[in-house]
Structure 1
Amino acid sequence: MVMSPELDRVTVLGDEAAARGHLARICFKTGPPTLTGVELEWTVHDAADPTRPVDRERLREALGRHSPVTLDPTSPADELRRGGTVTVEPGGQVEISAAARPSVAALVLATEADVAELRARLDAAGLVLGRTGMDPWRSPRPVVDTPRYRAMRRAFDRRGPAGRAMMYSTAGLQVCLDAGEPTQVADRWAAAHAVGPPLLAAFATADRHAGRRTGWAS
């Protein structure tokens, strides 16, 4: 099951070959590696009481014209001033998908400006962005519910509660890179996996969840 660009429509892929073809078209377009992007995701909290749940209506009002259509079907879903797109994850986490740039320096400058704009909007609504990779105070709870998220939840529930914790309580950082030329893809993919563990160790910030110590750094 995959989502269309409209985000709220579902297409069912009937076999593995169809799924492979779809992923190849949208995720592994090859060519010269020229652009870098980033997706920044945070939990969102009431500024006065971080344990208080933040519902979708409060998020919609705070984000205004930048609300995604999954939160407000009538929203124009306008980009932030420097081109970042705002989305809201199933647990109410807010994410900026920055517009890809030809240099890391340009990406950082544009993304910092978009983050500042997002913070200002949330601040005006009495909300703040979380500072850790997992919600330290609240238990997992759904805020945005779409066919895609329901399908994910059903799949994760077959393995236990960790899937819901990931969907509803975690935040993250995703660096987006071009796949590269066809002959480079395997080596670039392997390199990305190799740097993952040290980056995880360097930025691990999930030692507390739902008011309790997790026993883990990440």
Structure 2
Amino acid sequence: MKTDLTEFYPVIIQETINTLIMVGITLVLAVLIGLPLGIILYATGRGHVLENKTVNVILNFFINTIRPIPFIIFLVALIPITRFLVGTTIGIWAAIFPMTLAASLSIARVVENNIISVDKGVIEAAEAMGSSKFDILFKVLVPEAAGSLILGLTFTTVSLIEFSAVAGLVGAGGIGYLAFTYGYQRFDVAVMFVTVLILIILVQITQFIGNKVANIYTSRL
């Protein structure tokens, strides 16, 4: 059965909005969790300002255990926990929990790697001026790495768009729901084309905005 795209536009618009809601809420939550987690990962590393081997090893083990798991498997594996915490395994909020957890760990690693890349001379200069460990972390390292962090968050946002499409396969709604329910199950090439096109447009817009913001920030340094 082929879908009449003329009558289908309201559904397309609604599911696109659902995708944006999933990605937007997840990104905010993931940044709130992943940013401080990444700073802790860096700070507790060997030779860094708050060196703590125990904390660093535990965090690295946790992140390195979860990150390699494909999101579709991770999503399904978390269903019992999602049902317990959210009360359902279907819908936007059921998708936001696993998406947030996966994205938080990705952001944490992005933050750690970008802060590590900051020139050590900048840290030495801050220490020579008597800056506290807190000041070095939040007034020197984070601002210096901010341009790269913005690009890293852009990459994570693109990944979240992909995650939202996968989440649609298990009833979370969004573009993935359209592609699976109306495109794949009904063998409707037109719907598949539209959903893929929307995903491409969302990714292009996200990448453009991320690059633009990073360039503006970098040019002001």
Normalised by the length of structure 2, the TM-score is 0.31
Query: Between Structure 1 and Structure 2, whose CA radius of gyration is higher?
Result: 2
Bigger share in strand: 1
